[in-house]
Amino acid sequence: MNDSRDKLKAAIVVNAIIVALEVWAVCSGVTRLGPSVCFTFYTECSNLFAGVACAVCAVADLRELRGGAPCGRAVRWLKYSAACCLLMTLFVVVFVLIPMLHSVGVQGMYLMLIDGVKPITHLGAPLLVAGSYIVFEADRGMSLRQSLVGFVPTLVYAAVAYPCNILRVWNGPYPFFQVWNMPVWMSVLWFVALFFLAFGLCQIPRLLARRYGRGHGEPA
């Protein structure tokens, strides 16, 4: 019983820390870019989503600590989706955006991982949210089909970003969305590659949860 309560307290603290970091990071982005530009970035949207998800988890855990019911499927899946989105951010930064800046060398890593609030939005938050989901909220019984819930926010973002670029409402904000600056086949290839990357990343927290999940998962 004490171990369970201690774990709940730890979950509340970790989620609260993440919320505080995300509020600071997102507010910094809005101040620097303005809301109309800031939220065209997947990074900003995913970090805002993660802040909301962690706030919901903290409230649910606090209620459970006070004798209420454990956090339900919807709360856990919300945190799972946020973890998947932030893992997408991390992987795109490390394996796509930084290599695209190879001409500036180490400066590219600085710009993507160290400058401003990027230690939080590009690195710290993805690791903290994914790690805390696996330790505190993970559903050991989540099936492959159920894991699609983590893919939905990315699909929604793509469903907005691509038409906005085709209609020239947005310019990017990422190079692979700039459909007017590349052949059609390359845009299709980028879409397919990002589609499979997003789906694959949804499996990382799902599979790690089978070993490290909190132990009250639902059947597949």
Residue 5: the pLDDT is 87
Residue 220: the pLDDT is 34
The length of the chain, given as a count of residues: 220
**In whole angstroms, what is the distance from residue 206 CA to residue 147 CA?**
7
**In whole angstroms, what is the distance from residue 70 CA to residue 61 CA?**
7
What's the CA angle centered on 68, arms 16 and 15, to 5 degrees?
Answer: 10
Residue-level pLDDT, tens digit, the chain, 220 residues: 467 889 999 999 999 999 999 999 999 999 999 999 999 999 999 999 999 999 999 999 999 999 888 889 999 999 999 999 999 999 999 999 999 988 777 888 899 999 999 999 999 999 999 999 999 999 788 899 999 999 999 999 999 999 999 999 999 999 999 999 999 999 999 999 999 999 999 999 999 998 877 654 443 3
Q: What is the pLDDT of residues 134-181, one digit of tens each?
A: 999 997 888 999 999 999 999 999 999 999 999 999 999 999 999 999
The encoded tokens of residue 168 equal: 């020239």
Residue 212: the pLDDT is 78
Q: Which residues contact 206 (CB under 8 A, 6 or more apart)?
A: 80, 142, 144, 147, 150
Cα separation of the two ends of the chain: 27
What's the CA angle centered on 196, arms 165 and 108, to 5 degrees?
Answer: 65
Residue 214: the pLDDT is 61
Contact yes or no for 46/201 (Cβ under 8 A): no
Whether omega before 173 lies within 30 degrees of 0, making that bond cis, reads: yes
